[in-house]
Amino acid sequence: MLKKIEAFLDKPLTVAHALAGILGFFLGIIIMFFTNTANAAEFEKGNNYTILYVQGFVHLTCQQNIDGRFITRRTTLNCQDYFVSPSSYSRFITQDSKAVKVQIFNNTNNYSKTKKFYSDKGKSKRFNLLIRTLFQKPLLSVGLNDLHYKLILKNGGVEESGNFDVMVETDQKYCRPEYMRSFYLSDCDGEGHVCRDYFYEASCQ
């Protein structure tokens, strides 16, 4: 009878051990999940960007001494520009890679770029994400970008590949008019950095 009682009393302890084991198992899975997420491939500046389009008027007075004559001109410039937050450029980052290059293909706009990858730093050269000029095309488009990356080894083999999303949103802002002065007549023709200076003075960026 005593042995049966002892066996009965042992059962709760056994159940407790089993529950602890199950809890530990799921805890281990959760830890592994977040560890892998922390090492996930992404852009160094993050995966959310905003393009702010700005517009406003600057009333400009230009004065310059030319051949002993002090000339004054006045004009009003309609300034337009855009600013990207947090940055127009970013590096691709990932951990524990021996790759020498990384290729990123944007499935959204069918455009790809390849940059050198520094395995000792875990990051690539900077990608042009959102700057468009006559000689440059941005990797990203406005909206949700579905990106596919390949980490390429020295022998040309693909060490790792995967996908991640990047969101690009837009906003618009009209800036208050400002009165400014310049010591170059050419600024009244819209040359120079007048508009950039205006957006800074108007705190409109």
> What are residue 52's phi and psi, to 5 degrees?
-100, 115
Q: Does residue 88 sit in the same domain as residue 165?
A: yes
Determine the pLDDT at residue 193. 87
Q: How many domains does the chain have?
A: 2
Q: What's phi and psi for 44, nearest 5 deg?
A: -60, -35
Based on the fold, state whether residues 24 and 53 are members of the same structural domain.
no
The pLDDT tens digits of the residues spanning 35-48 come to 333 357 899 999 99
Q: Say whether both 64 and 121 belong to one domain.
A: yes
- 75-103: pLDDT as tens digits: 999 999 999 999 999 999 999 999 999 99
Tokens representing 63?
Answer: 């004065």
What confidence score (pLDDT) does residue 202 get? Answer: 87
145 in the same domain as 53: yes
Q: What is the pLDDT of residues 5-34, one digit of tens each?
A: 444 434 444 444 444 444 444 444 443 443
| Contact residues for 195 (Cβ-Cβ < 8 A; gap 6+) | 58, 77, 79, 80, 81
Tokens of 28: 């281990």
Instruction: Please indicate, yes or no, whether residues 79 and 125 belong to a single structural domain of this protein.
Output: yes
Displacement of CA 112 from its chain's centroid (Å): 17
Residue 105 domain boundaries: 44-201
**Are 25 and 57 contained in the same domain?**
no
Do 27 and 49 lie in one domain? The reply is no
Q: Are residues 32 and 89 in the same domain?
A: no
Q: Domain check: are 27 and 92 in the same one?
A: no
Question: The whole model's pTM is what?
Answer: 0.72
Are 18 and 96 part of one and the same domain? no
69 shares a domain with 22: no
Higher pLDDT, 70 or 168: 168
Distant-in-sequence, close-in-space partners of 99: CB < 8 Å, separation ≥ 6:
117, 119, 151, 152, 153, 159, 160
Provide the 8-state DSSP code for 174.
E
Computed over every residue of the chain, the mean pLDDT equals 84
Q: How confident is the model at residue 167 (pLDDT cuts 50, 70, 90)?
A: very high
Mean pLDDT, residues 141-153 taken together = 98
| Two structure tokens written together for 43 | 């852009």
Quickly state the pLDDT bin for 174 (edges 50, 70, 90): very high
